[in-house]
Structure 1
Amino acid sequence: MIYAFDSYYFGDQAKTVCIAFERWDSETETKIFTEATAVAADYESGAFYKRELPCILNLLKSIELKDGDLIIVDGYVTLDNEGKIGLGGHLFEALKGKFPVIGIAKNGFNSPDDLRRAVYRGESNTPLFVTAIGADVDEITLQVKQMHGNFRIPTLLKKLDQLTRIFE
């Protein structure tokens, strides 16, 4: 199973959503998990994980991960060639390296990173940026290219982003 996570912030509240799907090219999700929590930390440039990681870890308590499962985060796993890690890297560490974590980011990051791949989808001239730990980034890049949808943002990741913004 592939589990994709994203969070959105409304004042002092965070809404975290996870869409579970079976294959990289799945058009529809198998299950949706959602949770609203208090914001754990203020936004800190260069330390985004401090805000989002607690949200993901809380929601993960309601998901039974199994061998072979993959996790996608909206962001980066690695940030540079010096070993600085992003949200996905911190999640991988929190899960004690048991599950591969893939970062799919919409915006570029300015430092050089040999483990970052630009993925062009559809007719867009703007790439997605893919990083991974616990899995081969080049293999993951091919999978991201094959995700369902004709546009830059794959169908299920677009749905995930939309679901995070609906706060009830």
Structure 2
Amino acid sequence: MIYAFDTYYFNDYANTICIAFEDWISEIESEIFSEKIPITSEYESGAFYKRELPCIVSLLNKIVLKQGDIIIVDGYVTLDDEGKIGLGGYLYEALNEKIPVIGIAKNEFNTSDSQRREIYRGESKTPLFLTAKGADVDEIKPKIERMHGNFRIPTLLKKLDQLTRI
């Protein structure tokens, strides 16, 4: 199963959604998980993970992960070649490095990262940025390219983003 997570912040709570789907080319989700929790910390520049990681980990407590499952986060897993990690890297560590974590970011991070891949989908001239831990980015890249949808953002990831804002 593939589990994609995203969180949206309202004034006093965070709305975290997880869309589960069976295959990279799935058109519809198998299940949707959601949780609203109080915001535990303010946004801290350069430490986004401190705000979002607790939200994802809390929602993960409702999900039974199995061998072979994959997690997608909206953001970065790795940030540079020196070993700096983003939200997905911290999640990978929180999962004892047992479940692959894929990061799909919409905005470029301006450091050199030999494990970051650009993905162009549909007619878009603007890439998505792929990073990962526990999986080979070169094996994941074509899977992201083939995800359902004709536009830059795959259908299920677009739905995920929309559901967080409700």
Calculate the TM-score normalised by the size of structure 1.
Answer: 0.98
What are the equivalent positions in structure 2 for 1:1-168 lying under 5 Å apart? 1-166=1-166
Q: What is the number of equivalent residue pairs in this alignment?
A: 166
**Counterparts of 1:82 and 1:10 in 2: how far apart (Å)?**
34
| Unaligned 5+ runs, structure 1 | none
**Counterparts of 1:122 and 1:46 in 2: how far apart (Å)?**
31
Q: Deviation of residue 110 (structure 1)?
A: 0.5
Give the counterpart letter for 2:124 in structure 1: S
Give the 3-state SS of the residue equivalent to 1:93 in structure 2: helix
Give the counterpart letter for 1:131 in structure 2: T
Calculate the TM-score normalised by the size of structure 2.
Answer: 0.99
Give the counterpart letter for 2:42 in structure 1: D
**Counterparts of 2:116 and 2:70 in 1: how far apart (Å)?**
18
Q: Deviation of residue 47 (structure 1)?
A: 0.7
**Counterparts of 1:80 and 1:22 in 2: how far apart (Å)?**
31
Give every structure 1 segment of 4 or more consecutive aligned residues whose post-TM-superposition deviation is greater than 6 Å: none
**Counterparts of 2:114 and 2:137 in 1: how far apart (Å)?**
10
Q: Deviations over 1:142-167 (max 9, x none)?
A: 1100100000000000000000000x
Give the 3-state SS of the residue equivalent to 1:122 in structure 2: coil
CA RMSD, 1 decimal: 0.4
Give the counterpart letter for 2:114 in structure 1: D
**Counterparts of 1:41 and 1:93 in 2: how far apart (Å)?**
20
